[in-house]
Amino acid sequence: SQTLCLKVLSELEKAGLLNKTKIAEGGRKLRKNWSASWVVLVGNSLVFFKDPKSQTPSSWVSGVRPESSVDLRGAQLHWANDLSSKKNVFKLRTVTGNEFLLQSETDSLIKEWFNTIQSVIDRLVTQ
């Protein structure tokens, strides 16, 4: 609806393409499976969509739905270059024990993402 659309726009902090892999679900370790993901930071959530470039016209409609979404309240963010051979990797851990690695080849871009997500996490502590 138009109201929802305006709410999303007003709470939009950041959006862009990052490499992503989930490495734990509810504290249980998962096998890495890196893929490009369209990441949207809106309100208290980090929302993941399939990389639009990887989509065919027939999957455009299904691509509108997020693949998954992360509640940032109580989440923890750490640089994690020890957890991957890739550069510029950080780990996001949710209160529910889900862990994601996010990565970009571009140093400035990954620093911006780290700082913006951290500022949302910090803001939620005092809210």
Tokens found for residue 97: 């024990």
Nearer to ligand I3S, 23 or 40 (CB): 23
Sign of the dihedral through C-alpha 51, 54, 56, 58: negative
31 binds ligand I3S (CB under 6 A): yes
29 binds ligand I3S (CB under 6 A): no
Nearer to ligand I3S, 11 or 25 (CB): 25
Question: What b/e string do you get for 2-32 counting C-beta neighbours within 10 Å, with b at 16 or more?
Answer: eeeeeeeeeeeeeeeebbbbbbeeeeeeeee
32 binds ligand I3S (CB under 6 A): yes
Contacts with ligand I3S, 4-23, as mask; x by CB under 6 A: --------------------
